Structure 1
Amino acid sequence: MKYVQRVGLLTSGGDAPGMNAAIRAIVLALGNDVEVIGYRHGYNGLINSESVKLEKIHVDNIIHLGGTIIKSARCKEMLEEQGVSQAVTTLIKDKIDALIVIGGDGSFTGLMAIEKQWDGLVIGLPGTIDNDLDGTDNTIGFLSAVNTAIDAIDKIRDTADAFDRVFIIELMGRHSGHIAFNVGLASGAEAILSFENTDTTQHEQVVSLLAKQIREHQVSCQNSFLICVAENLWPTGISGLKAALNQYQHIDASTCILGHIQRGARHVQPIGYWQLN
């Protein structure tokens, strides 16, 4: 087996809390004997040869930070053979023996394309809040995203309770309902609409069932009613679901899209944090 002397590292696609922790672990584990070369802005940095040598001083106290110190991005060039070839050229020029990619399925698709043209080692670390990768129970960032969303929904519950209000809350996840389902259960939501339990081709039936649940709940509990919905599930978004409840069932609801807050972590800059310029 070829002795590994230089490792390339990049974070690709949507950021996920825990990426910095993964970067730190790699640098601390390999730093004494192996050079770790970080490529900035995902595969774009690999194609454009935009790199920085990562040392222990760069990863001091970054474990608490969200985002990624080597930045992330999506890269359309990796969908073309020319872009993959340019990435391989950079790996050969930089004398990289192994490439580690932290990202989701799109990032791994790019990694597999590189593997077909390059004889170095390739390693993929599943980093996505969507938790939609086969072969792993929990991806890097998923649990942090769930905890962030639970904290936000607990605050929404406070104001919803004050007015006995119906709230429709959209959770991220792309085309997976894992965040919506887990957050809904953990926060005690009265209804959860995810890809795994909702047939969105039956719009009227779903709206009718929700209305029935809301009315029964309001009669028995006289309290708030929270509906957790996976993003991209409802064809017209949660604003469309709100409109349908109002138009067909005369039920008023408020909406909240938690959005990219779920990708973040603690925005604290500890002493010793180094910005890679």
Structure 2
Amino acid sequence: MSKRVAILTSGGDAPGMNACIRAAIIACQKAEYTLLGYQHGYNGLLQQEHVSLSLGSTHNLIQQGGTILHSARCKEFKNREGLMKAADNLKQAEIDTLIVIGGDGSFRGASKLSEHWDGQIIGIPGTIDNDIAGTDATIGYFTAIDTAMSSIDKVRDTADAFERIFLVEVMGRNAGFLALNAALSSAADYVVVPEFFESAETEIQKMVTQIKAQRALKGAVSFIIVVAENVWPNGLAGLTEALQQHDISDVRPVTLGHVQRGGSPVAQDRLLATTLGEHAIKLVGSEATNIMVGEVNQHPVTVPLSRTWETSKPLNDARVEAMRTLMNERYSE
């Protein structure tokens, strides 16, 4: 019997979401499944706002950033009435399987929905933050690193020209994956991530020591500090003020912001998105439900949705050690 599958993108958009949608469309076509796309995340599910997805929708799709289904936050989906309405809409549309591309907030919503709807639910991790346990990487993460790295490279040019200190804030929500890897790949001088943040006082002492040691050794050279968002009290303004209180002047703050979510996905994100989208369709009709499809050691895996937010995902130990070695800690020895 042919299956009816629905797919939606929820929460923050990420480069590669369209590549994942494309893979799902082609896989559904091959399996002779009907595929509907709900627009504007869970809002579209509540409004029964869906479109038919066919091979005609896949032309030039793999390289497009954003999401053709659009995305949104949905407050109504957090209450019981909204969940029951969503479940009723899925029943009316005769949906057998719902695929949700998003982050842990989207997965929490999907898990709550399963309490009111007995259809199959499959999550696919799509977020530049890479803060989803159970998968080595999330769709959009690799592109965001490249975007941040490229931006920091440009900042370095003007920092060198004026021999200034630049503070560059990158996204990541409450995780340091993006900050760490952007800093390491751009040869930043210092990085601040939530996983190792003790206090502003401790961090500022390390920072000031390294800046002064480097300038004593090399003169008035540039210094790039990458800061994960939501870590420093009062953000970059607070850090700028703290440095000035230690006689570190000529500081310029730069917030990269939502530019990190945009752009054509790099090859790694296209490959990850395609693999996960295709594998999710393979699971349609199986007993597996309330699960996320991820990738570990370049192989598709499935994990319970609850694990994605109940388990803390650590930073890569080798990358952490490399950053500690290559940062200017040697100047403070």
Partner in structure 2 of residue 235 of structure 1: 233
Deviation of residue 252 (structure 1)?
A: 2.8
Which residue does 2:206 correspond to in 1?
209
Question: Where in structure 2 are the equivalents of 1:55-70 lying within 5 Å?
Answer: 55-70=54-69
Q: Deviations over 1:104-143 (max 9, x none)?
A: 0010011111112111111000001111111011011111
The CA distance in 2 between the partners of 1:21 and 1:265, in whole Å, is 13
Letter paired with 1:120: G
Counterpart AA for 2:154: K
Query: TM-score scaled to structure 1, two decimals?
Result: 0.92
Q: Counterparts of 1:194 and 1:34 in 2: how far apart (Å)?
A: 44
Give the match for residue 117 of structure 1.
Answer: 116
Alignment of 1:52 onto 2:45: no
Q: Distance in 1 between matches of 2:13 and 2:256?
A: 16
> How many Å separate the matches in 2 of 1:155 and 1:178?
21
Q: Distance in 2 between matches of 1:265 and 1:55?
A: 24
Please say if residues 16 and 127 of structure 1, whose CA atoms lie closer than 8 Å, have aligned partners that are also in contact: yes
Q: Give the Å deviation of 1:250.
A: 3.6
- 1:247 maps onto 2:245 in alignment: yes
The answer to whether the 8 A contact 1:4-1:97 is kept is no
Match in the other structure for 2:223: 225
1:91-170 equivalences in 2 (<5 Å) = 91-170=90-169
Is 1:263 the counterpart of 2:257 in the alignment? Answer: no
Q: Which moved more, 1:227-236 or 1:240-249?
A: 240-249
Whether the 8 Å contact between 2:183 and 2:191 is mirrored in structure 1 is yes
What is the rounded CA distance, in whole Å, between the counterparts of 2:218 and 2:59 in structure 1? 51
User: Which runs of 5 or more residues in structure 1 are unaligned?
Assistant: 268-277
* Contact 1:8-1:39 at 8 Å conserved across structures: yes
2-structure distance, mates of 1:189, 1:226: 5
User: Which 10-residue stretch deviates more, 114-123 or 71-80?
Assistant: 114-123
Deviation string, structure 1 residues 34-55 (Cα, Å, up to 9, x no partner):
1110000000000110000011
Q: Deviation digits for residues 174-223 of structure 1, max 9, x if unmatched?
A: 101110011111111110100122213xx223212211111111222332
How many residues were matched structurally? 263
Distance 1:146 1:53 in 2: 33
Structure 2 SS opposite 1:117: coil
Query: Are residues 258 and 210 of structure 1, via their aligned partners in 2, closer, same or farther at CA, if it must alter by over 3 Å?
Result: same
Q: Which amino acid aligns with 1:76?
A: K
Counterpart of 1:13? 11
1:4 Cα deviation after fit: 5.1
For 1:140 and 1:59, how far apart are their aligned partners in 2?
18
Separation in structure 1 between the aligned mates of residue 130 and residue 264 of structure 2, nearest angstrom: 21
Amino acid at match of 1:164: E
More moved, 248-257 vs 131-140: 248-257
Distance 1:6 1:40 in 2: 17
Instruction: Provide the C-alpha distance between the structure 2 equivalents of 1:4 and 1:132, rounded to a whole number of angstroms.
Output: 35
CA contact (8 A) 1:4 1:98 kept: no
Moved more, 135-144 or 111-120: 111-120
What's the RMSD between the two structures over aligned residues?
1.3
The DSSP-based 3-state class of the residue aligned with 2:254 is: strand
- Whole-angstrom CA distance in 2 between matches of 1:4 and 1:196: 47
Letter in 2 for 1:216: A
Pair 1:4–1:146, CA change in 2 (3 A): farther
Q: Identity of aligned pairs, percent?
A: 48
Question: Equivalent residue of 1:196, what SS?
Answer: helix
SS of the counterpart of 1:67?
coil
CA distance in 2, matches of 1:164, 1:248: 18
| Structure 2 residues not aligned, in runs of 5+ | 266-333
TM-score for the superposition, normalised by structure 2: 0.77
Tell me how far apart the structure 1 counterparts of residues 34 and 217 of structure 2 sit (CA, whole Å): 64
Distance, in Å, in 1 between the alignment partners of 2:216 and 2:34 is 65
Once residues 192 and 48 of structure 1 are traced to their aligned partners in structure 2, the CA distance between those partners, rounded to angstroms, is 44
1:88 deviates by 0.6
